[in-house]
Structure formats: C-alpha cells, structure tokens
Amino acid sequence: MDLSDHLFRHEYGRMVATMTRLLGVRNLILAEDVVQDAFCRALEVWKFRGVPENPSAWLMATAKNRALDLLRRDRTADRYEPELSRILQSEWTLAPAVDELLIENAVKDDELRMMFSCCHPRLPVQAQIALILSILCGFSVIEIANAFVSSHAAIEKRITRAKKVLAGSKRLFEITDKEVIARISSVHQALYLLFNEGYHGGSPGVAVRSELCHEAMRLAALLLDRPASATPATYALSALMCFGAARLPTRLGGMGELLSMFEQDRSLWDQQLIDEGLKLLEFSATGSELTEFHIEAAIASVHALARRVEETDWRQIVSLYNQLSAMRPTPVIALNRAIAIGQYQGPERGLQEIRAIPGAKRLAKYPFYFAALGEFELRRGMRDVARHHFQAALVLARNEMEQRFLEGRSRVCEVRVACRD
Amino acid sequence: MSEFTFLFRGRLISGSLEERQKHLEKWKLWMNQLRANGHINEHPGHPLEGSGKVISGKNKLVTDGPYAEAKDIVGGFMLIEAEDLEEAVELAKNCPIAEVDGSVEVRPVQVLRP
C-alpha cells in the first residue's frame, strides 16, 4: 500500500478534531497526545509490517483505542465533553457510542467544527491561522515558522497561547445555521490570508508556499462540502483560490525571481484549475450576497481568460476595481485600479491616476507603489526616473523574490536597447 | 544461504509528521529491496512494544522492564537470509535506522550441524 502525499499531516487534522470531540475541548492537548501516539505506533509497526490496506482507518482506530482506555480509566462526570457524559455511563454503550463518532460524516463535521473553533473571536487572525496550520494541517512549529518567516520561539508562543484560549472554550463550535452565519466570515478571512501567505508570502521555499495554498484550498473544499457553510462567499473564495493556484507555478522565474503578470508563461497556467474556478464563480452568483471575494475572483477570472496579456479586458478590470474600492477603499486597491487604467489609456494617464490616489502616503512602505511608478515612467521612455523608482522600491523589498524582481526591472532601465515597450 | 537476525535499536522520536512519513517511506523501500532480492523468506519483521516484563534467575523474579536507555532498547527484530555475515552486514548498512542514529545488530543464527 502506498502512502499519499502528506497523508500523516492530513490524517492528523481529522484525528485531532475527532479525538477532541471525544475527550472534550478542554482536553485538546491530551487529544493531540493521543493522536501523536498513534503516529509513533504507526511508524514502528508499519516500517516492519508494511502499510495496511486502509492506513487512515488504522490510524483512527489506534487513536480510538487509546482514547477508550483513557475514558475507561477516568469516567467520572464532567472531565469530558458534557454531551458525552450520558453515553459514557456504561461500558455497554461506550464502544458503540464511540464508533458512532467515527463514521465518515461525523469526522468531516468534526474537522469543520474544529476549523470554526480555531477562528475564535478572542484570537488575532495570525494566531487563528497558526492554530489551523498546527491542528488541522498537522504542521510542526518549525514548518509554521518557515512558512511565516518567523522565529521558532515566537510561533511556539503564539500557538501555545492560542491553544489555551481554544481549550478554555466550553465546547467545540456547533455547526448550526445561526452559529455558522455569525462566524463564517472570520473563517473565510483566515483561509484567504493562509492562501495569500502561500501566494505572496516571504518564504523562499516554493514547496512551502504551494503547500500553504493547497492547504487553504483543501479546507475551503471542506466548507463547500456542507450546506451550512457552502455559502456564495465560500464559492467565491474557492474560485479566487483556483485562479491563483492555476498561476502559482509561473510566479517565479528560473532564478527564483518574481514574475509579473506580464512576464508569466500563460501556456503553463493550469487550465483545469481555471475551469474549476469558472465553475465555482458561477455557483457563487446565487443569492444576493456580493462579497469582496466575488469581485476579486471576477478580476482574477478576467486575467485567467486572457490567453495573452494584450488580450486582457482592462476596462472590465477597472470597473471591477471601482466596485471593490467602494466596498473596501484601500490605497492598494486604488493602486491596482490605477495600474489597470494605465494599461489601456497609456502610461501618462496611469501616472496621473497613481498620483491622485487618496492617502497615497500609506503606500510609502509598499514596494509595488514605486515599482508601478517605475513601470509607467519606463514605458514613456523616462529611463532615469524609472530607475530611481525601482531603486526606491528595492529598498522596501520584503523578501528575496521581490528583491530579484526589482533588481531586474532596475537593470532594464540601464540597457540602452529597448527590449520591451 | 545462512540465516541471520537483525536486532534494531533506536527509533525516530521527534520530527514533524512529514519527516516521519518520509522516514517510513525509506523503510518501505529498504524492505522491498530485501524482499525482491530474496533475503526475507517469511515474515517481514517484528516490531516490539517499548516495555514488558523480565523474568530472571532461579527465583524467577518478575520485574517490569527492560529499563535501559531508550537507545539501547531493542525496538524490533527480523530474520534475514544472506550468503554470509559479510553480505548480511552490507544489507544492514542500507537500513534507514542509521538516519536516526540507531543501530542494527547482525547475529548469525546458530545451526544444528557445526
């Protein structure tokens, strides 16, 4: 039997969610220990005996047995989840009751409940994401620290604190319609940021970044799997992720430098993911809800549908940015809108629009503000001015990929022979 | 062909789930190689629980144990067929247990006829 990629990590999330349901959320750490135990056992037994026919079931059963031992040993009253105290009364009901919790659908619900629980309102969103990665994606502290380009100690502290908050809640989140509506936007936000961390984030490892994107997509698919959480916004968010993931392999060049939309090899965009995104975008159009994810996904779809950059429908993109600005008036969105205008109305017009951005001061630390100025100056032939802008952007670069990209752009300004318009 | 036992000491105790899965894949590869080359004739091997009981002496004193340091506890054993001790040692050298600083003890099984 072969193991699928990341099987251990993905099973970890399912198992911790279910064991937490079994042992009660206040015993979160114990639930994690039980699951870790199961993996230690799997490693020892499987390396000699081979991987069993159904590794997931083997792991879950091993964790279950360990948890049953714990429950039998300490059955007194309210140490465990209140909803379980009744069925834990007798040995006769214990095992079947536990088996009931392990049927596939119940496990999926547990994963979902855990996802919502991780987005606890008392936690800052960065802590929510770290918690999701730790509990539901089975990432180690080191792996999370790598993903966030943060120190081991800082992440460990963040996770420990977050787990304490989670364990302090009375019970896991309930998936009733009312509860879901109240919290689903925090869940969307966390998954959105998790995806973006992979897409734009500073980790130099391409593998690390695409894993983050895929984890975000896997969790979003869980949301889509349940009627209560398959809202239009969930569809829009999933569509947005599909379009992003389709372009992911082309975002970095051979030297590990960021490639802009203008330079990416569009023939390498994943057509299957684009089609999936278009389908999801269609599903997102039911009901009256129009979220930022809808607009962002629509913008991404316009890019995805243009075979060559020259074929991009910039008017459509500008009009979508207008809508987005109305919902979330931020300088970065205004900048993207200005860039889009410059694409079909010429560099002068683009520069004008950039200078007219309200609150442009807030972009003073944003490398792509200066990069955009540089790009338009370069296009209208002002090479020296352009180079200065790229140099200014370079100082602000947040990671190596950005740095290499901006160095490249700055170098283009020095070359006398124009190699691009 | 002669028979040998491999006694394994040491195991991966820390490491991320990803690292553990990768480590497991290496064991699988090693085992498959042994099997493909006809070195395993029956059971692939026997993992052992970390602790049990030790019965010792004329008084058959039963104690919990073995209480050795983790790295000294035998974590599993297997029977191997090889041409001679030299070949058995070569086979053991490829065991992924080396990655976790563990050891393989290779012991020829004594035969009835000298």
pLDDT, position A90? 59
Selection from A79, A84, A67 nearest residue A33 by Cα: A67
CB-based burial label for A104 (10 Å; 0-12, 13-18, 19+): exposed
Chain B CB contacts of A12 below 8 Å: 17
Are B28 and A51 inside 8 Å of each other by CB?
yes
Lowest mean pLDDT among A84-98, A315-329, A371-385, A393-407: A84-98
Cβ under 8 Å to A: B residues 95-114: none
Percent of chain B predicted with pLDDT > 90: 65
Lowest mean pLDDT among A5-19, A124-138, B9-23, B62-76: B62-76
Backbone φ, ψ for residue B49 (5° rounding): -65, 155
**Mean local confidence (pLDDT), A291-307:** 96
pLDDT of residue A207: 77
User: How close does chain B come to A9, measured CA to CA in Å?
Assistant: 6
Contacts of A58 in chain B (CB under 8 A): none
- Nearest-CA distance B15 → chain A (Å): 8
Give the model's confidence band at B109: pLDDT under 50 very low, under 70 low, under 90 confident, else very high. very high
User: Any CB–CB contact under 8 A between B5 and chain A?
Assistant: no
Pairing of strands B52-56, B61-65: antiparallel
Place of tokens 């000294």: B72
What rounded mean pLDDT belongs to chain B?
Answer: 90
Query: Which of A43, A138, A140 is facing B24, going by the closest CB pair?
Result: A43
Residue keyed to tokens 């042992």: A23
Any idea which of A99-113, A243-257, B20-34 has the lowest mean pLDDT? A99-113
Mean pLDDT of chain A: 88
Chain B partners of A143 at a C-beta cutoff of 8 Å?
A: 16, 18
Closest chain B residue to the Cα of A8, Cα to Cα: B17
Local structure of residue A172 (DSSP, 8 states): P
Q: Which residues pair with B3 in a beta bridge?
A: B81
Reported for A397-404, long-range contacts at CB under 8 A and 24+ positions apart, including other chains, are: A397/A367, A398/A202, A398/A367, A399/A149, A399/A201, A399/A202, A399/A204, A400/A204, A400/A256, A401/A204, A401/A252, A401/A256, A401/A257, A401/A258, A402/A258, A402/A367, A404/A255, A404/A256, A404/A257, A404/A258
Instruction: For tokens 């807030």, name the residue.
Output: A362
Residue A126, SS3 per DSSP: helix
Q: Do A69 and A37 touch, CB atoms closer than 8 A?
A: no
d(CA B60, nearest CA chain A) in Å: 30
Q: Closest by alpha carbon to B108, among B38, B33, B31, B6?
A: B6
| Partner-chain contact A46 B24, CB within 8 Å | yes
Contact B21 A7 (CB under 8 A): yes
Quick count: other Cβ atoms within 10 Å of Cβ A128? 25
Q: What is the pLDDT of residues A173-193, one digit of tens each?
A: 887 878 888 899 999 999 999
pTM of the full predicted structure? 0.85
The rounded distance, in Å, linking the Cα atoms of A202 and A199 is 9
The answer to whether the beta carbons of residues A52 and B28 sit under 8 Å apart is: no
Question: In whole angstroms, what is the distance from residue B112 CA to residue A165 CA?
Answer: 66
Bridge partners of A52, per DSSP, are none
Is residue A419 very low, low, confident or very high in pLDDT (cuts 50, 70, 90)? low
CB contact under 8 A, B31 and A46: no
What gap in Å lies between CA A301 and CA A275, rounded to an integer? 10
Which range in A117-126, A173-182, A398-407, B67-76 is most confidently predicted, on average pLDDT? A117-126
* Helix or strand run (H / E) with residue B104: strand B103-108
Cα–Cα distance measured from residue A183 to residue A233, given in angstroms and rounded to the nearest whole number: 13
Q: Are the beta carbons of A143 and B18 separated by less than 8 Å?
A: yes
Q: Is the dihedral of CA A335, A338, A342, A348 positive or negative?
A: negative
Residue A21: what pLDDT? 87
Cβ of B44 and A142 within 8 Å?
A: no
The CA distances from residue A139 to A156, A239, B20, in Å, are 12, 25, 12
Q: What is the pLDDT of residue A77?
A: 44
Q: What is the pLDDT of residues A55-73, one digit of tens each?
A: 999 999 999 999 888 887 7
Which position has the token pair 């119940």?
Answer: A106
Question: Which residue is it, tokens 């205008």?
Answer: A341
Nearest CA to CA, how far is A195 from chain B (Å)? 20
**Residue of B28 and B43 predicted with greater confidence:** B28
Could you tell me the CA-to-CA distances from A191 to A50, A107, A276, A329 in Å, in that order? 36, 20, 18, 22
For A363-377, what is the mean pLDDT?
A: 93
Inter-chain contact A8–B12, Cβ cutoff 8 Å? no
3-state SS assignment for residue A280: helix
- pLDDT tens profile A221-269: 999 998 889 999 999 999 999 999 999 888 888 777 788 888 899 999 9
H or E stretch at A153 = helix A152-167
Question: Residue A160 is encoded by which pair of tokens?
Answer: 């420990």
* B25 vs A: CB within 8 A: yes
Query: Are A169 and A118 contacting, i.e. CB atoms less than 8 angstroms apart?
Result: no
Best to test chain A binding among B20, B24, B30, B104 (most A CBs inside 10 Å) = B24
Share of chain A above pLDDT 70, in %: 92
Q: What is the pLDDT confidence band of residue B14, given thresholds at 50, 70 and 90?
A: confident
Mark yes or no for CB contact A43/B11 under 8 Å: yes
Position A374, amino acid:
G
Nearest Cα of chain B lies from the Cα of A143 at a distance, in angstroms, of 8
The first and second tokens of residue A410, run together, are 């700055």
CB contact under 8 A, A47 and B24: yes
Q: Is the pLDDT of residue A51 over 60?
A: yes
Smallest Cβ distance to A3: which of B25, B46, B78? Answer: B25
